[in-house]
Chain A
Amino acid sequence: MSDLLDDLYQAVYEMDEDSAVDLTNEALDEGMDPEVLLNDALIPAMDEVGKLYEDGERYVPEMLLSAEAMKGSMKILRPLLAESGVEPTGVVVLGTVEGDLHDIGMNLVGMMLEGGGFEVINLGPETPAEKFVEAVKENDANLLGMSALLTTTMTHMPEVIEALEEEGVRDQVEVAIGGAPVSQDFADEIGADGYAADAASATDLFKKFAE
């Protein structure tokens, strides 16, 4: 049995989506617990890949492929996990703020969070404040991450926080911000709950929030 777990771990680690899907089906056929597949194969594999990325041993295209492999497996596992009442680590709404098209960093954060067992609602680039609020309500999210890569767009961040307040959902979510021009000072200034300098620390921050 544990051979299958090792193989699934390897499939994600080796960026092989087809194998990840096949092995997931095979493992389920043998009666393995979906939660075990997630916790003992997928999450540790993405965790390791994330570490390699942080150390500069893996690069963006490779991260994307490993994430695809994990996603392929999760597509099969997620409904089964939901059925058996397994909750995700947290529900995160992610987006780049209005007017800002830079979404690579945010997508990396999204991938690493999915790898960490979070449910991620990625709203993509150029997300207006009301879209953030909508997504928080619709998905009953408890975490929100937004990024801005321009000095001209970081000014939209406080608008998102205000919109959350106005709609009465500010207390339901922990808000983290990221992106080149923002800082811990800026996070404090606008009343965000945290700031992360890169994708890896963003993941750690959300994990802390989710505890």
Chain B
Amino acid sequence: MFLTIGELINSTRDEVKQALKEKDEELIRKLAREQAEAGADVIDLNAGESMEDEKDDMDWLIDLVEDEVDDVRICVDTPDPEVLEFGLEKVENRPVINSISNEEDKAKAREVASEYDADIIGLAMGEEGMPETVEDRLNETEALVKKCEKLGIDTDNLYMDVIAMTIGSNQEQGQYVIDSVREIKENFDVKTNIGLSNMSFGLPDRGLINRTVFAMLLEAGLDAALIDPTDKPMMDTLKAAEALLGEDQNCLNYLKYKRSG
């Protein structure tokens, strides 16, 4: 089943940054509720902006979101292994980890990830920086799979993030991420993920670009995405694509989705 990860509670967004500063419970509750109602399976929580007390803020966010949404799954989104461990320990349901990679300074995060039963987002990048080609992404996947196996991580829980880059400055990147999803799934026993919105940077009508590539990625076998689930056309695309790809028996989910408005 496709995993929709709601991206809105992220401290790099101004309103969330502000809410963290002022401890504005209402805004966080509203964002959690709206994303869940719109169909998010997982709510991503990122408090990285508050460099001073990220752990306290993560603590506060988890309490609020778990109180607001029944049976919510939380994605602990942090660069700090200590905050990661804290979040994984605290959440009620099976968490998602955002993220690990082949980078040296992610060693501790990889270790922490191995100690919990969680879905893990693994970025297809390492010391050489951002991947350029499909081959780069496959190499990073191979290296990360090896690291995970060594740590005893079940790679079936590993969601390789294919790293979206803007087509505005490099027009090959659209085809690259689509091919990467397809080839990663062919060659490795892992799942795939993407944070879509980078793709459309610098272009008009970003939603159109985002949902078009989303449909293409779904056909290639994409398993999860960090998206704004309250972006209705985006969720429309997901439901229609699932029906078109034969993943929605008798189109019942699509019908239910359309009837619910």
Residues of A within 8 A of B (CB): 56, 59-61, 63-64, 101, 104, 107, 125-126, 150-152, 155, 180-181
Contact = CB atoms under 8 A, between A and B. Distances in A.
B39 interface: no
Contacts of A126: 129
B13 to A, nearest CB: 9
Given A104-B169, A150-B12, A151-B48, 16 more contacts: A59-B168, A60-B168, A60-B202, A60-B203, A61-B171, A64-B169, A101-B130, A104-B168, A104-B201, A104-B202, A107-B169, A125-B130, A126-B129, A151-B11, A151-B51, A181-B49
B202 A61 contact: yes
B79 interface: yes
Contacts of B168: 59-61, 64, 104
Nearest to B130: A101
Interface in B164-216: 166, 168-169, 171, 201-204
Nearest to B103: A99
Contact of A59 (B49, B129, B171, B202): B202
A184 to B, nearest CB: 15
7 contacts: A59-B203, A64-B168, A101-B129, A101-B130, A126-B129, A150-B48, A151-B51
For A60, A64, A150, A151, the residue with the greatest tally of chain B CB atoms inside 10 Å of its CB is A151
Chain B interface main SS type: loop
A56 B204 CA distance: 8
Interface in B64-116: 79
Nearest to A154: B51
Interface string B137-171: 00000000000000000000000000000101101
Contacts of A125: 129-130
Given A60-B168, A101-B130, A152-B48, A180 B202 contact: no
Which size bracket describes the interface of B in this complex?
10 to 19
Contacts of B12: 150-151, 180-181
A183 to B, nearest CB: 10
B172 to A, nearest CB: 13
Contact of B49 (A104, A151, A155): A151
A152 B202 contact: no
Interface of B: 11-12, 48-49, 51, 79, 125, 129-130, 166, 168-169, 171, 201-204
- Please give me the 9 A-B residue pairs with the lowest Cβ-Cβ distance, nearest first: A60-B202, A60-B168, A152-B79, A101-B130, A151-B48, A151-B49, A61-B168, A101-B129, A59-B203
Instruction: Choose among B168, B202, B203 the residue with the greatest number of A CB atoms under 10 Å from its CB.
Output: B202
A152 B201 CA distance: 21
Contacts of A101: 125, 129-130
Nearest to B168: A60
Contacts of A155: 51
Contacts of A151: 11-12, 48-49, 51
Contacts of B202: 59-61, 63, 104
A168 to B, nearest CB: 30
Nearest to B48: A151
A60 B48 CA distance: 29
Contacts of A61: 168-169, 171, 202-203
Contacts of B204: 56, 59
A195 B48 CA distance: 21
Nearest to A149: B12
A60 B204 CA distance: 10
A129 to B, nearest CB: 17
A84 B166 CA distance: 40
Given A104-B202, A125-B129, A126-B129, A60 B166 contact: yes
A60 B130 contact: no
Contacts of A64: 168-169
Contacts of A181: 12, 49
A152 B168 CA distance: 25
Contact of A60 (B51, B125, B169): B169
B99 to A, nearest CB: 12
A138 to B, nearest CB: 23
A64 B169 CA distance: 7
